[in-house]
């Protein structure tokens, strides 16, 4: 099975903005979420976007006054971000998000990990390591926000076929296969090629993380944590480093 970064570079990244409904619509959704849940910059004006992708949150965070460190392993998606950032203070870093602290020179006011990125990590130990690092990286009173899909209760039978997006030239469908710790996501992409259709399929693993487990891991690192409903059925966990 391809690694997460291979799956993105070879399969998903070239159609990712299309999958998200186009750049303008995606940025409007990102802006609405940032407006609704992210604190405005205070002492530290630095925000970190872990798994920033094409900048759905990094761009709106810069627009409300943060300097943003946008880290992602997909050069294709970071190129899209680069071409849309204009003069915004966004530093683009192409690296594994697990290494984010090596790119920080000061405590951040805000760290976000949005849009189901957390489930892309290879195992639960990696998530625990990341959450430990994240607990120390914000300034006192600073905030960490993570949104992710709760795959802890498996879908069964035909529920596992998920229509993601389609138009007259392209159809993307996911099929989910569960094991004890992860779900294998098969991304089935049909694209029109002249009068014919071509199918490409690629698969990758996402972790089955329960929101309660993420909450407990953050609390164990001394953060004050709340959990709420996020966009598009995702869980949203908001954690604050005590003053
Ligand atoms: C589902 S997308 C979410 C993107 C963005 N946060 C959003 O909300 O649109 C997951 C992103 O995480 C990135 N990613 C996954 N695992 C990563 C890792 N270990 N290091 C850096 N980026 C990673 C992928 O390249 C992809 O851009």
Determine the residue of 20, 117, 126, 146 to mutate for testing ligand 1's pocket, defined as the one with the most ligand atoms within 8 A of the Cβ atom.
Answer: 117
Tell how far the Cα of 195 is from the centroid of ligand 1, in angstroms.
Answer: 34
Predicted pLDDT at 37: 96
Residue 130 near ligand 1, beta carbon < 6 Å: no
Determine the residue of 37, 120, 144, 172 to mutate for testing ligand 1's pocket, defined as the one with the most ligand atoms within 8 A of the Cβ atom.
Answer: 120
Q: Which positions ≥6 away from 61 have C-beta within 8 Å?
A: 34, 38, 47, 49, 68, 110, 112
% of the chain exceeding 70 in pLDDT: 100
Tell how far the Cα of 232 is from the centroid of ligand 1, in angstroms.
Answer: 17
Strands 67-72 and 90-94: parallel
- List the residue whose alpha carbon is closest to atom 4 of ligand 1: 53
State the DSSP code for 40.
Answer: P
Mean pLDDT of 215-231: 95
Q: What are phi and psi of 228, to 5 degrees?
A: -145, 180
How much is the pTM?
0.96
Helices (H) and strands (E) in the chain, counts: 7, 11
Strands 235-240 and 138-148: antiparallel
What confidence tens digit (pLDDT) does each residue in 37-54 have? 999 998 889 999 999 999
Comparing C-alpha atoms, which of 128, 105, 129, 135 is closest to residue 225? 135
Alpha-carbon separation of residue 213 from 14, 182, 201, 208, 222 (angstroms): 33, 14, 32, 10, 15
Residue 240 near ligand 1, beta carbon < 6 Å: no
């Amino acid at each position: 099975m391809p690694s997460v970064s291979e799956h993105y570079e070879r399969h998903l990244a070239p159609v990712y903005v299309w999958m998200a409904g186009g750049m303008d619509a995606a940025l409007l959704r990102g802006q609405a979420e940032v407006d609704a849940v992210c604190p405005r910059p205070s002492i530290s004006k630095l925000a970190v976007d872990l798994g920033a992708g094409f900048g759905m949150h990094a761009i709106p965070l810069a627009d409300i006054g943060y300097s943003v460190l946008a880290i992602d392993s997909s050069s294709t998606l970071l190129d899209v971000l680069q071409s849309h950032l204009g003069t915004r203070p966004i530093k683009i870093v192409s690296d594994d998000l697990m290494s984010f602290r090596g790119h920080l020179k000061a405590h951040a006011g805000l760290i976000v990990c949005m849009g189901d990125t957390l489930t892309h990590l290879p195992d639960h130990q990696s998530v625990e390591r990341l959450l430990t690092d994240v607990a120390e990286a914000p300034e006192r009173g600073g905030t960490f926000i993570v949104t992710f899909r709760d795959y802890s209760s498996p879908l069964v039978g035909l529920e596992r076929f998920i229509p993601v997006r389609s138009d007259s030239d392209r159809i993307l469908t996911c099929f989910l296969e569960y094991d004890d710790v992860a779900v294998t996501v098969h991304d089935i992409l049909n694209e029109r090629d002249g009068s014919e259709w071509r199918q490409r399929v690629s698969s990758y693993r996402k972790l089955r993380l329960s929101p309660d487990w993420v909450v407990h891991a953050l609390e164990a690192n001394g953060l004050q944590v709340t959990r709420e409903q996020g966009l598009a059925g995702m869980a949203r966990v908001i954690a604050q480093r005590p003053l």
